[in-house]
Amino acid sequence: MAARGGFNTRLGFILASAGSAVGLGNIWKFPFEVGAGGGAAFLVVYLFFAFVLCFPVMTAEIAIGRSTQSSPVTAFKKLGFSKWSGVGYLGLASGLLILSFYNVVAAWSFGYFFEIIQGHFAVGDSFSSYTSNWIKIGAYSIIFIMGTAYIVSRGVSQGIEKAAKIMMPTLILLIFGLIIYALSLPNAFVGIQHYLLPDFSKMTANVVYSALGQAFFSLSLGMGALITFGSYLNKDADVVTSAAIITFTDVFIAFLAGLMMFPFVAYVTEGDLSAMSTISGEEAFIFETLPAVFESLGPNLGVLIGGIFFLLLSFAALTSTISLLEVPTAFLVDEKEINRSKATWSVAAVIFIIGIPSLLGAGASSFFSEFVILPGQSSAISFMSFISMVGGSTFLSVGGFLISIFTAFVWRKQNFSRAINLENPSLISRWLANYVHFAIRYVCPVVLGIISLTTILNNYFGVSFL
Ligand code: PHE
């Protein structure tokens, strides 16, 4: 079998996994979900889901990967449960689907970085003609997926780990810089108030479902990305505390993104944050409104702050596309024994091709732009939104549900315990491990099962449980 490589240090593993988790989901989606879901009211539900439900699933994923030293499909087989490799295939499918549209959004962000640093703030006025220019966006998305493939093709320690060690600290610096700047803008305080004061009247069942979907997507759970990264960990690495640190980092950076975004929105709307729940979408705010904000700062400061913002977005996207590309690549390496570089570049080409409908569905083709009207909805959604719902929400929550069932009832307690318990555990990791055992058996299967089912009925059949 071909050498698989591995992380040099546990820090490298944590940074790469946190890089996978921290992405467009944190910076572009999260603040707007909070805005529409009642500020701190949403935040509380989100924190509950992240730590109570998602953290145990993350621990299980990393433990499965680490103990089998294999990517998902192979991992289930190695544990002796070949039928469960279906969960690995489901993860592969969701990874391919997510990456196919994620790469297009990453290309928009990366393209904006180029426009803004040249002082072209006017791109914001013509966002729809920007996204419908499929040749230009197609070129950006080829560059983005090639950059991703270049890093992944270099291997785990020389590619993924090195990139994460540079990009993650930079990302944190950039976000702190932007927060300090955003807090100095007029009405910043009004924005922060809106963010941190709860409005429980906005807490509907739909908000609760979307909080869970957002938590899964944001933590990169349910598709085996962390099984794959875990498979490159040393057999004696501490899984439970690593999972806790990754969960915490992801939630913390999402929280920071809110501290940056709410003051920006308050500045634009002159303190009228009601706009936050009616803003027709985060897309419009980020790609149409923000460039105008940057322009109003004058040519030099505008280029600087705007450039930093879109660089931040592109970096966040890149550390996530790396992990999304690693999953199918590792599958080809482990299962089909294909050489890593060949595997990476072929998957990248396939991703670009299956991303074409998403590329065209942002204005260039009306068929893909108004792709489907779902039951219970009045207007059509684009191919990209549809694929994001299938691959990014449904598949992930079903995958997470199955992983928790597998860990609790098929793999069983003694094996899972052996996989996560250390020879000399610290008090904290022992305490966390006890919690994970309890939650993976008694909490995750029930709650994830109910929420996945109700979300499916709601999204695809228009059945509402309000
Ligand atoms: N977690 C990433 C984000 O928030 C997206 C992602 C999902 C990455 C699943 C890998 C796997 O943007």
CA–centroid distance, 298 to ligand 1, in Å, is: 34
Q: Which atom of ligand 1 is nearest to the CA of 324?
A: 10
Residue that the structure tokens 């560059």 belong to: 143
376: left (phi over 0), alpha (psi -120 to 50) or beta: left
Indicate the SS3 state at residue 388: helix
Q: Which residues of the chain have pLDDT under 50?
A: 1-2, 279
Answer yes or no: are the C-beta atoms of 232 and 66 closer than 8 Å. no
**Domain residue spans in the chain?**
10-89+105-347
Record the tokens describing residue 363, joined without a space. 């204005």
Record the tokens describing residue 461, joined without a space. 């059949």
Answer yes or no: are the C-beta atoms of 316 and 22 closer than 8 Å. yes
CA–centroid distance, 130 to ligand 1, in Å, is: 25
* pLDDT attached to residue 1: 46
Indicate the SS3 state at residue 337: coil
- Residue 379: count of CB within 10 angstroms of its CB: 7
Question: CA nearest 194: which of 279, 292, 291?
Answer: 279
Cα 254 from Cα 23, distance rounded (Å): 9
- What is the identity of the amino acid at 422? L
Ligand 1 cavity residues, CB under 6 Å: 20-21, 23-26, 98, 217-218, 220, 223, 225, 320, 323-324
Half-sphere exposure of 113 (CA within 13 A, CB side): 16
Q: Which atom of ligand 1 is nearest to the CA of 21?
A: 1
CA–centroid distance, 152 to ligand 1, in Å, is: 16
* pLDDT attached to residue 466: 58
CA–centroid distance, 218 to ligand 1, in Å, is: 5
Ligand 1 site-directed mutation target among 220, 313, 314, most atoms within 8 Å of CB? 220
Nearest alpha carbon, ligand 1 atom 11: 220
CA–centroid distance, 139 to ligand 1, in Å, is: 23
Q: What are residue 59's phi and psi, to 5 degrees?
A: -60, -45
* pLDDT attached to residue 448: 94
Burial class (CB in 10 A: 0-12, 13-18, 19+), 30: buried
Which helix (H) or strand (E) segment holds residue 450: the answer is helix 444-461
Q: Which atom of ligand 1 is nearest to the CA of 26?
A: 4
CA–centroid distance, 203 to ligand 1, in Å, is: 25
Cα 198 from Cα 306, distance rounded (Å): 30
Q: Which atom of ligand 1 is nearest to the CA of 217?
A: 7
Record the tokens describing residue 444, joined without a space. 């995750």
Cα distances (Å, whole numbers) of residue 166 to 6, 156, 157, 175, 220: 18, 14, 13, 15, 20
Cα 39 from Cα 62, distance rounded (Å): 32
* pLDDT attached to residue 278: 54
Q: Which residues contact 114 (CB under 8 A, 6 or more apart)?
A: none
Answer yes or no: are the C-beta atoms of 72 and 327 closer than 8 Å. yes
Burial class (CB in 10 A: 0-12, 13-18, 19+), 337: exposed
Q: Which residues contact 376 (CB under 8 A, 6 or more apart)?
A: 458, 461, 462, 463, 464
Ligand 1 site-directed mutation target among 17, 20, 318, 388, most atoms within 8 Å of CB? 20
CA–centroid distance, 155 to ligand 1, in Å, is: 20
CA–centroid distance, 295 to ligand 1, in Å, is: 30
CA–centroid distance, 103 to ligand 1, in Å, is: 11
Ligand 1 site-directed mutation target among 320, 390, 403, most atoms within 8 Å of CB? 320
Nearest alpha carbon, ligand 1 atom 6: 220
Q: Which atom of ligand 1 is nearest to the CA of 24?
A: 12
CA–centroid distance, 268 to ligand 1, in Å, is: 29
Cα distances (Å, whole numbers) of residue 56 to 416, 420, 454: 12, 11, 22
Question: CA nearest 155: which of 13, 4, 12?
Answer: 4
